Structure formats: structure tokens, C-alpha cells
Amino acid sequence: MKLTRSIPVPDSVLQIPVLTVTGSRQPQGPCLAVSAGVHGDEYEGVRAIYELFRELDPAAMSGTLLCVPVLNPPAHRACSRVNPVDGLNLARVFPGEPDGTISNRIAWVFDQQILSRASFYLDLHSGGVRYGMPSMVGYDSTDPRGRAAAEIFGAPVIWGHPVIEPGRTISAAMARGIPFLYTEAWGAGRIARGDLDMMKRGILNLMRHLGILEDEASVVAPPPRRLTGVGNTDGGIVASMPGFLMLDVQILDRVQAGQRLGYLVDEWGSTLEEYNASQDATIGLTREMPIVEAGDTLFLLASEEQEGTA
């Protein structure tokens, strides 16, 4: 059965769209919750959910696929990373509260009404208009359930994090003991075909992994590149002043300690400051919007597991 409904946000006219596909084989089976649109300038996951909702056949499924394609409607309509009503990043306020600002209330209804039902949770992100990110899934490297799911997702890169920072959708899932993954992708305010395909394939692979989908098809993907380290977009290498960013490196480049990653110039093109790698590393994130403010994250450095090790 396919169902389209809305959940109201307290003390507002806001409705969160919810798309549910319940399998007819065994309706009481596991529930995979999938969200997109936490940040309003990320679109790959939104479209992946819309397409899968049309394509899935409930007769081939057990359990439930529970999707929120646009978790942050005000940010989505404004094409904005943050919610324009309260200026907050929705991925920093979880698990939210029922009488806080609009972002807090969105987080709260999602945590109470969607996450509470999930046996596994997937949050679909991308680089948005500011950042470049690898096409990847991220997971909690302290939870073998997350690692196992990351390995079967079919993404070209998997990134294990030793720490999950508070305030995220996935930290709310972790607080409930629910295993999770999140995606990243190139972004740039557009939908790259390969990233859309990766997210749809990954959701289907997760559904097979959880026993929701029992079809024969299983997409064999080449082994992923495996990154480790903190993936916090509020950290990494940060600009100490405003300027125009000149990048020397690209996503997933391998760099050596001391290597210049990029530099900031003023409107005359004169160098304001340079950014160098503190260690041998793999580039996990780049700032792609060249106009930067003081405090903006420019680079995240990750470590790479050696091939053949796990």
C-alpha cells in the first residue's frame, strides 16, 4: 500500500510531507525511515524519494519504507541551507523541542513521529551550493550495524566517523539505539545523474539488507574507497577572514603534510592567507562557493584505510 500524508508542525501552518510504502507480504516487518531536504539547497535525495515512491511495488515488499522527502520545507522553498524563519541549521538542533523555534519543532515532530518508528534510518544529504563532497555514505564506525550497511550500500566512498556530533538527525537516531547511514554527494544546487542513481540504488540495497525487499536483483558495486575521521562541516580548516577562495585541490585528492590546499585573496587578487595540510590526508570536503566569510569551513581532511583492510 502506498500512502501520502502530512504531519503538522505544532503552533504553525507547516505540514511535513510523508510518503509510505507498506509491503503486502508481511506488513509488520522492519521499517526503513529515509529523509531528505534537511538542508534546503540539497536536491538529490528529494528526487530519489519521489522516483522510488512511484517505482516500488508493495507486492514485492515486507515491512515499510517511511520517507520524508522534504524535512525542512521553509529552507527547501528558499533554496537555503538554513531555515530562513529562525536562521537555524536543522542538522544542529536535534532532537528538538515542542515549544522552541520552528527548526526545533520540525526536529521534534520528526524525532517523535518518524524516527520513533524506524528500525534503520537513512538521511540523504549532499554538498549543497557551498560545499563539494564525495559521493558517499557516512556511518558510525563504533557500530558494526552501520559499517555492514555502508559496505552494501553501493557508494564509491564510505566514511566511518569515530564520533557523531550532537544535534544531527543521526545523533537523534543514535540516542534511540537505531542504526543509521547518511549520504553526501557533489551537490552544487543541481542533481547529478550518477548521484541520483547512487542514492536510489543505495536505498534498494538497504531494503534488501533489512529484508524489506526480497527481489533477486542485487547490484554489484566495485569496492568503495574507505575513509575515516571526523566529518563535521563546522570544523576542519576554517577561514579566519572574508575573501575569495582559490582552491589547489579537489575532492578525494591525496595530499601530503604541508601541501598547500588553497589560498584566500582580496579583490585585487593579493593573498590574504594560505591553507596547508596538517598531515598526509585525503580531501573529504572542499568549499566550492568561492566567496567566504570569517569562520567558514574550507576543507575537511580524512584518513584513508589501506586497500584490502577493513
Q: Catalog residues that contact Zn ion under the rule CB under 5 A.
A: 39, 42, 125
Min dist. Cβ of residue 24 to Zn ion (A): 34
Min dist. Cβ of residue 258 to Zn ion (A): 31
**45 or 154, CB closer to Zn ion?**
45
Element (H, E) at 166: none
**Integer Cα distance of 89 and 36 in angstroms:** 14
Locate 153 and state its grid cell: 550500500
Residue of closest CB approach to Zn ion: 125
**49 or 56, CB closer to Zn ion?**
49
**39 or 76, CB closer to Zn ion?**
39
**DSSP string computed for 211-280:** TSB--S-----PPPEEEES---TTSSEE-SS-EEEEE---TT-EE-TT-EEEEEE-TT--EEEEEE-SSS
Min dist. Cβ of residue 75 to Zn ion (A): 10
Min dist. Cβ of residue 125 to Zn ion (A): 3
Q: Which residues lie closer than 8 Å to 303 by C-beta, 6 or more apart?
A: 227, 228, 229, 281, 282
Query: In this structure, which amino acid lies at residue 271?
Result: T
Of 184, 182, 180, 202, nearest to 192 by C-alpha is 184
**Integer Cα distance of 69 and 62 in angstroms:** 21
**67 or 213, CB closer to Zn ion?**
67
**42 or 288, CB closer to Zn ion?**
42
Burial class (CB in 10 A: 0-12, 13-18, 19+), 131: buried
Contact 55, 11 (CB under 8 A): no
Alpha-carbon torsion (151, 155, 159, 163), positive or negative:
negative
**Integer Cα distance of 81 and 109 in angstroms:** 20
Min dist. Cβ of residue 72 to Zn ion (A): 10
Min dist. Cβ of residue 307 to Zn ion (A): 29
**39 or 147, CB closer to Zn ion?**
39
Min dist. Cβ of residue 131 to Zn ion (A): 9
**168 or 225, CB closer to Zn ion?**
168
**Integer Cα distance of 224 and 162 in angstroms:** 19
